[in-house]
Amino acid sequence: MAGHKKGQGETIPANEDICRIIPGAAKEIILTFDMGGRISYVNESGMERIGYFDDEILTMNIGDIIPPDQLKTIKEELLYSHASGEEKSVLHEVEFIDRNLRLFPVEASASLIIRNGKPSDILIIARNTDDNRKNEKHSAEKEGICSHIVENAEEMILIADETGKITYVNKIGEQFSGYSLEELRGTNISDMFPPRHIERIRKELLENGKTVISEDKFIDRNQKEFPVRLRSSWMMRDDKLWDILTVVRDISRQKRRERERLRKRKFESLTMLAGGIVDDLNNFLTGIMGNIDLARMNLNPDEKTHTMLSYAKEGCGNIRTLIRHFLTFSKGSTPVREIGLIGPFVTESVKSLHPEVSIGYDFSIPDGLWPVAFDKEQIKLAIRHLVVNAAEAMPSGGRIHIRAENITVTPGRKSDVLSMEEGNYVRISFQDRGIGINENDLGKIFDPYFSSKKMKPQQGRGLGLTTVYAIIKKHHGYIDVASKQGVGTSVCICLPISGKDIPDFSIFEESFFHRKDRILIMDDDELVIDVADQMLRNLGYDTEFSKNGEEAIEKYKKAVKSNQPFDVVILELHVKSGMGGREVMKELLKLDIHVKGIVSSDYSNDPEMTDFEKYGFEGVLEKPYTMGELSKTLEHIMVGKTVEIYLKEQKKEGPEESG
């Protein structure tokens, strides 16, 4: 048996074996960089704490992680000690910079690495500073640094003999496996890994040398499986192979993070493709539909040709729906969000569906959910896709469990959904007891036209989950999927709460909505101006137009001076000459902080369309827009305008008259 006895039934590994794998097992940040500052190594704990991936951090400079002034002090002291022949480490309290550009204090021990008698690299071992630092330091000095690191490692470290029997495990093993230390010591390693695990590791060690890094499944006491990375090494005694030392790291979060990174890359490619497709199809379809309408105008409705053209226009409408579907993926698609209670909306949306008789629902949606700003049409579409997907996973029938709750993500809380920003969210989950998803397919489920299920014709062959992913991302939310074959699937979406209360417009007099509102439109396309003028006048608005930004600003100034201000301005984002919509809106806000602006453009990928609120706009109009869409957008803006009018009137009347 390797090592020396610490107590009966417990074997402590020899220090030389442990120290060979300390960098991978240590919870401290361990990194090296050359004299030019180029990072050459960071252990896993370091990458996790700093927040970068290994393929990113090895392209960085140490100055991106340690402030230059603090780095300069460390380097000067090390070089001075080398010049004086002391070759000693230096200890400093410094600050590290993580991926989010936040500073966090560490206690760093820095040493020179000498090659051919010259300083080659610098090694830093850093740990977070806290109130227990002195006690930990005393413990380390007393027990020896290697044993201290092993016992306090975040990874499970164990030793197994040639039969697979565990002879040593560190204290994190209890939390990691669900077994007590007493149960673990004497247990066979095969009880916690897939069959023939120990034989495979022994074979790889014999073929590849003293250390083998691999990935496998770990099975805890509750038979829950999760992915782990293993660092296995021979323990040598008298130059002979002895026991196997294994460091086990839970990589569940890393695997999910990798899937999310891949998903984002795929989605970014899809948004670029969708944007290009939408732009082209929109232009083609505008010409086709316009000519169909012109042709029908000269025909009698009873004529066969008129009927055929009507069918053609209906087909164009279906194409337009498909374009809108693709538009969901493009960066130019922006949800029109309204503040409301998402809980009742989810319940109503699910109940409005018409599932197969064999599918039922269980709701757990409490009162008191925080208000959320969401696009009703888009979120309803997302809910529909999630429910249909869950139903398809249960071809023999079953129940879909739908739950909602308020959650808060704080710096110290590891969210179930990875990469979530700190803040308050409403989380909604859709859980089925269906066939589940193979782990290899989890990273593909948001891909267009992907399905792991055997579907009926026309089922599972669309853009369902891809659409859901796009909608939730455009609401600045998060989505995550957990699944196990034969057990079921749970899809979780998290939407950030609104910082504003739900508006109550019931107190406003109906007469306020019948004002003759004035609209200013800036666009340099004569066709758009002509069509928009006809639509707005049919909707009961007064209109004025300008073909560039400078003219729009002048007209707005004159309207304010003449006490006939515009209620809403609709600004084309891009014009051929002069100021575009973004610049015009910036100037109008200087003139009137209460200006109500709508940004208009075709299916662009511009941030002004995606996050219009950031640029002072209160809505968007995506070209081509229908008369109904124009009316709906203006009504949404006018509600806010009516609020202002009402408050001004109340202020004029005074408290006594208003009562």
pLDDT along the chain (659 residues), means of 10: 39 48 70 88 84 74 85 87 78 81 84 82 82 46 54 77 81 83 81 78 73 81 83 69 79 74 66 60 66 76 84 76 62 67 92 77 92 87 88 88 91 56 90 83 64 47 70 85 86 86 47 63 83 80 90 93 90 86 92 90 66 85 75 80 50 45
List the CATH number of the domain containing 93.
3.30.450.20
- Residues 548 and 587 reside in one and the same domain: yes
566, 479: one domain: no
Among candidate residues 112, 143, 174, the one where a domain is terminated? 143
Give the integer Cα–Cα distance in Å for 295 and 308: 11
CA–CA gap between residue 137 and residue 634 (Å, rounded)? 67
Give yes or no: residues 261 and 245 share one domain.
no
Q: Which of 250, 281, 314 represents a domain boundary (last residue)?
A: 250
**Residue 346 and residue 314 share a domain:** no
Burial class of residue 412 in the structure, from the number of CB atoms within 10 Å of its CB (0-12 exposed, 13-18 middle, 19+ buried): exposed
Residues 6+ apart with CB under 8 A from 53: 47, 261
Q: Smallest Cα–Cα separation from 446: which of 410, 419, 422, 471? A: 471
Two tokens, residue 272: 């670029």
Assess if residue 18 is contained within a domain. Answer: no
pLDDT at position 659 is: 36
Do 411 and 440 lie in one domain? The reply is: yes
Whether residues 220 and 260 fall in one domain: no
Instruction: Mark whether 160 and 62 lie in a shared domain.
Output: no
The CA distance from 159 to 475, in Å, is 49
Torsion angle of the four alpha carbons 231, 234, 235, 240, in this order, in degrees rounded to the nearest 10: -170
Based on the domain organization, do 200 and 307 belong to the same domain?
no
Are residues 273 and 245 part of one domain?
no
In a domain, 638, yes or no: yes
Q: Is residue 504 part of a domain?
A: no
- Rg of the chain over all Cα atoms, to the nearest angstrom: 32
343 and 316 inside one domain? no
Domain closes at, from 329, 348, 367? 329
Contacts 24+ apart (CB under 8 A), 548-551: 548/522, 548/524, 548/575, 548/577, 548/578, 548/579, 549/522, 549/575, 549/578, 549/579, 549/580, 549/581, 549/583, 549/584, 549/587, 550/578, 550/579, 551/522
- What is the pLDDT, as a whole number, of residue 589? 92
Identify whether 645 is part of a domain.
yes
Q: How many residues make up the chain in this entry?
A: 659
Specify the number of domains making up the chain: 5
- From the number of C-beta atoms within 10 Å of its C-beta (0-12, 13-18, 19+), residue 516 rates as exposed
> Is residue 503 in a domain?
no
- How far, in Å, CA of 23 to CA of 231, rounded? 11
Co-location of 519 and 651 in the same domain? yes
- Position 241 scores a pLDDT of 63
What global pTM score does this model have? 0.44
- What's residue 120's pLDDT? 85
189 and 299: one domain? Answer: no
605, two tokens: 């990928």
Q: How much is the pLDDT for 508?
A: 38
How distant, in Å, are the alpha carbons of 69, 168, 587 from that of 281? 56, 66, 34
**Strand 518-522 with 568-572, pairing:** parallel
pLDDT of residue 325: 61
Q: What is the CATH number of the domain that holds 373?
A: 3.30.565.10
d(CA 130, CA 105): 9
15 is a domain residue: no
Looking at the domain assignment, is residue 447 inside a domain? Answer: yes
Residue 636's domain comprises: 510-656
For residue 550, the model assigns a pLDDT of: 93
Q: Could you give the C-alpha distances from 48 to 34, 44, 167, 414, 625, in angstroms and in order?
A: 22, 6, 30, 13, 47
Is 59 inside a domain boundary?
A: yes
CATH, residue 601: 3.40.50.2300
